[in-house]
Structure 1
Amino acid sequence: MTAKQRSKPRYAELGDLLQAGIERGDYPVGSLLPTELELCERHQVSRHTARAALSQLITAGLVQRRPGSGTRVIAQREAMRYEHGIDSLDLLMQYGNTTRLQVLETRSEKAAGEMTRALEIATGKPYLVLNGVRMEEPNREPIAVTEMFVPVRAGTPSAELLELSSSARTVAGFLDAARLSRVEQVFDAASLTPAEASLLGVESTEPAMRVRRHYRDAAGRLLMLAISKHPPGRFAYSMVLSRNRR
């Protein structure tokens, strides 16, 4: 097949070929894949192509690479991956509508130290803490653990947020897109605690993608700080940025 006839880049073809081999059991979980050099010789590709093909498998959650240890198979099937496209506040809020939040614990605290700055409230002011797990519908597969911090102000439905039976439903109403003016998002890497890893069904040594979201009302006041941790291969964001033309 010529390059002109190919519907996929060469690295994607090689990545798909290797993935098929993993799924058939040619490369069992725990075994090592061929090295980049071996792939180059066996499939007549460049080192760059071989590296990109292996990166595709890493993204799929099938293999793990460690310097000096090679590329080891860690799963036979591609991990469930919830992908959410975002290019507006309304689309971001659809994330809450297409997944299910299960609140597992709630409590009330008094602000001190770092929390006064994080929640933009004075020392001693009350705030609520809600811990839970967000799951994909309809499979109920966990895609994130979430910790939510809510400054208590006039109009905050504190009783409903603290009540486990109504908490998730109240969060959805409290963060209704109509009352929001802005959501600030910060993405970085983090580690999982043993308890968080257990809820997600992964090893505590796995890295996580952490997303911090500040939800603000029309006056710019912070309604909620939510911190979510996603394990590898369970979640992805896609966003499209375009030039604003007038």
Structure 2
Amino acid sequence: MDTKYRLVADQLIAAIDRGEYPIGSALPPLRELTRRFDVARGTARAAIAVLVTDGLAVVRQGVGTLVCATPARQPQPAPRREHLQLVLSGWTPVGADVATRLGLRTGSLVVHRIRHHRTGQRVVRVDEQWIPETVAGRIAHHTGHDIADFENTPHTDLTTLMRHAGLSPVVAVVTVRARMPAQVDCTTLDIPATQPLLVTDNVVHDSTGKALETTTSIGLSDHSTPMLTIPAL
């Protein structure tokens, strides 16, 4: 079957879409199409017939083939919005690495929170967040929210609560690294053990340089770089 006419038709449609032939303008005559695309006259005529059938052009006797519409663009599917879900919140003694980030002694009590970033039903990133006892106490005193109580404070983002408590959070330290997933990562993110992960550590300070919280974000290295919410000063 001769498909050259379809190729010629597709190129003409693309040219209309680019604005080379605006509505009301004439397409090249058959003799020019045969020369330009190196095809037979019947092939050029079949290509014009495709445009006419698609409602993009009309043939006017003595005038030629006129463009009467532009190609309908296929609607792009709306991107699926990512949303946060708090899945754990409670007190825990802090390990050495996190203690160093927060300027605390190893074993100090902190609020430990885990958040899932979801796109639809899929978890695409996991945040582990640690908040010093002094910060949690100040939030409770000024706002009435116990952030260690999962039922009492379902807030996924603590920025507003910190500000209401008179704190001025700003991300001051960020490090990024890659690692292979552990079994819990494979289960939570529904990925194979061969899928590399991107890990981002950030420490949020107040205006005096005191650490208010630290978060480790774990996500797919081919999904996107983990987004950091950097509160305004």
Match in the other structure for 1:146: 127
Deviations 1:57-84 (A, max 9, x none): xxxxxxxxxxxxxxxxxxxxxxxx99xx
* Higher RCO (CA-CA < 8 Å; seq separation 6+): 1
Aligned to 2:101: 118
Aligned-pair RMSD on alpha carbons? Answer: 3.2
Whether the aligned pair in 2 keeps the contact of 1:208 and 1:230 (CA below 8 Å) is yes
Give the 3 Å change call, closer, same or farther, for CA 151–195 of structure 1 in structure 2: same
- Count of residue pairs brought into register by the alignment: 141
Give the alignment of 1:53-202 within 5 angstroms: 99-111=82-94, 113-136=96-119, 139-153=120-134, 154-157=137-140, 160-165=146-151, 166-169=153-156, 171-174=158-161, 179-202=168-191
Q: Identity rate of aligned residues, in percent?
A: 11
Q: How far off its partner does 1:118 sit?
A: 2.6
Residues 144-202 of structure 1 deviation map (CA, whole Å, 9 limit, x = unaligned):
111111111041449632222423345242466x8224432111102222122222121
Long gaps (5+) in structure 1: 1-80, 83-97, 239-246
Shift of the 143–161 alpha-carbon distance from structure 1 to 2, 3 Å rule, reads: same
Judged with a 3 Å threshold, the aligned counterparts in structure 2 of structure 1 residues 124 and 227 are, in CA distance, closer, same or farther, namely: closer
Name the counterpart of 2:17: none
With normalisation by structure 2, the TM-score equals 0.50
- 1:217 aligned to 2:172? no
Q: Alpha-carbon deviations, 1:100-144, whole Å to 9, x = none?
A: 2212222212345444323211355321111231124xx354221
Structure 2, unpaired ranges of 5+ = 1-78, 228-233
CA contact (8 A) 2:175 2:202 kept: yes
Letter in 1 for 2:218: K
Distance 1:172 1:184, change over 3 A: same
Contact 2:114–2:129 at 8 Å: present in 1 too?
yes
Distance 1:211 1:174 in 2: 23
Q: Do 2:88 and 2:114's aligned partners in 1 also have CA atoms closer than 8 Å?
A: yes
Conserved 8 A contact 1:135-1:144: yes
Residues 146 and 227, structure 1, Cα contact 8 Å, conserved in 2? yes
TM-score (norm 1): 0.48
